[in-house]
Amino acid sequence: MEVSLCLGLGFASYLRQRLLEDGMRFSLPGPIPVVLLASSEGIWRLDTFELLFIDDDFLTVTITRFVRHRSGSRVHVFCFDGNLDLVHIGTDIELFVQKKPGLSAYAQDPREAAQSLVSLIEKAKEVVPAELRDQTPVRVGATAGLRALGAGKSEEILQAVRDLLREKSSFKNQPDWVTVLDGTQEEDYMPFSLSYELIFGGLLVSDKVTINYLLGNLGKTYADTVGVVDLGGGSVQMAYAIPEKDAEKAPKPADGEESYVKKLFLKGTTYHLYVHSYLRYGLLAARAEILKAGNANGYSNCVLAGHQGQYKYGGNTFEASAAPSGSSFSECRADVVKALKVDEACTHMKCSFGGIWNGGGGAGQKNLFVASFFFDRAAEAGFINSNAAVAKVKPSDFEEAAKRACKLNVNDAQSSYPGVQKDNVPYICMDLVYQYTLLVDGFGVDPQQEMTLVKKVPYSDAFVEAAWPLGSAIEVASSS
């Protein structure tokens, strides 16, 4: 897929240059599409790349991306010009469509998981001309959500998807194009996206690319970029740019782990990006870890009073009943610290949690953008405007919100937080305590440090969602 895409982009660029040198006027007969389906925390993504000559010297790349996210499935369509600037699609900066549920909902039924992609494939058909579909590769890449299910179940789902694509898809497909990605690929891009219009900085890889792209930071020094923490459902990612001398001193990862440092070339500048994906520490997965850590007495200190039930995640079921006295901020925090393994032995100079090297900190981390479930819970807890695209907060804001939530019973919480889905209400104390503890004890952020919660980033005359699909597209287009 990557090879096919690079060849397509490279050929178009080469052809364009030769035509310009020869003084010829020419236009391609139609788009050259490439389709990619990807999954992260239950995310599926479908990318269509179209290359068009608008005139003698203007190359446009249109990227359509279908994402199966933790909260469901979604499709993004982006369009770049020859300068790697976003071009409007109609009146909008992107096309965006969303649906539910996500891939993890079908853990016990691989065929149903595959069938959930049919509507996305149909959307792709609306974008890719019929005469080009059999030339259009489709690739599936699953990440945290599928990895959390274990090798056996994830492979069953992948095989069901392969069968679906072979039997019912009109797109070009191969068995080895349906795979599980490593945990850092999704996070590699969000930071870059954010930086383009505002700061051009942070690099998470996918999320970091996205954020720094939109902020206008790509091409600047690493110290002028922003760091990104992206809290998904199955994993949490930290990414920020570090100096080359620190990158050279990075410890070797444990067997089976990805390298701590990614080297990327974007907008004419080389970046060394510290990036790590903490599997099982996304918000939804962390609930399971917290329940396991603090359920010795058959109840949880983090579950709101009045709730008696079970929590299901990744095909497993966990007891999730409130303590007789209800939830407690301090006792819940102790359970979260235990689940995070904050005190685990650190064999490096500096660690975050679980004995993981934290990248060393520094200038690339001073300006922190925090995304996904951090934004969602802050809006639901009422300390930021849910309609805002970005908001300035401190970790202590999550602490204060957690203390308020932990004092409530489930019925009071339902009325106090009308924006929280009913199934999530019993866990509002747990979620907020986890987010505060993750930032302060896990990542070492000062409780009073100002951070930027981000959902969408202002770009040109529009707002663009700070999500990793755009960052992934940026790296592909940037390297062509």
DSSP 429: H
Would you name the residues annotated as active-site residues? 186
Q: Which two tokens stand for residue 458?
A: 């202002």
Start-end of H helices in 347-420:
373-381, 395-406, 410-416
- The reply, when asked if residue 234 is annotated as ligand binding, is yes
Q: How far apart are CA 307 and CA 425, in angstroms?
A: 9
| Exposed/middle/buried for residue 122 (C-beta within 10 Å: 0-12, 13-18, 19+) | exposed
DSSP 247: H
- The reply, when asked if residue 233 is annotated as ligand binding, is yes
Cα–Cα distances in angstroms (integers) from residue 360 to residues 16, 340, 342, 394, in the given order: 44, 19, 17, 21
- The reply, when asked if residue 310 is annotated as ligand binding, is no
Q: Which two tokens stand for residue 92?
A: 């909008």
Asked whether the CA dihedral 159, 71, 144, 216 is positive or negative, the reply is positive
- Residue given tokens 């790697």 in the structure block: 84
Peptide bond into 418 cis (omega under 30): no
- Amino acid occupying residue 242: I
Are 236 and 438 in contact, with CB atoms under 8 Å apart?
A: yes
| Exposed/middle/buried for residue 211 (C-beta within 10 Å: 0-12, 13-18, 19+) | buried
Secondary structure (DSSP) of 36-73: EEEESSS-----EEEEEEEETTEEEEEEEEEEEETTEE
- The reply, when asked if residue 445 is annotated as ligand binding, is no
Are 110 and 159 in contact, with CB atoms under 8 Å apart?
A: yes
Are 240 and 262 in contact, with CB atoms under 8 Å apart?
A: no
Q: How far apart are CA 358 and CA 356, in angstroms?
A: 6
- The reply, when asked if residue 236 is annotated as ligand binding, is yes
Please enumerate, by residue number, every residue annotated as part of a binding site. 233-237
Please enumerate, by residue number, every residue annotated as part of a binding site for ATP. 233-237
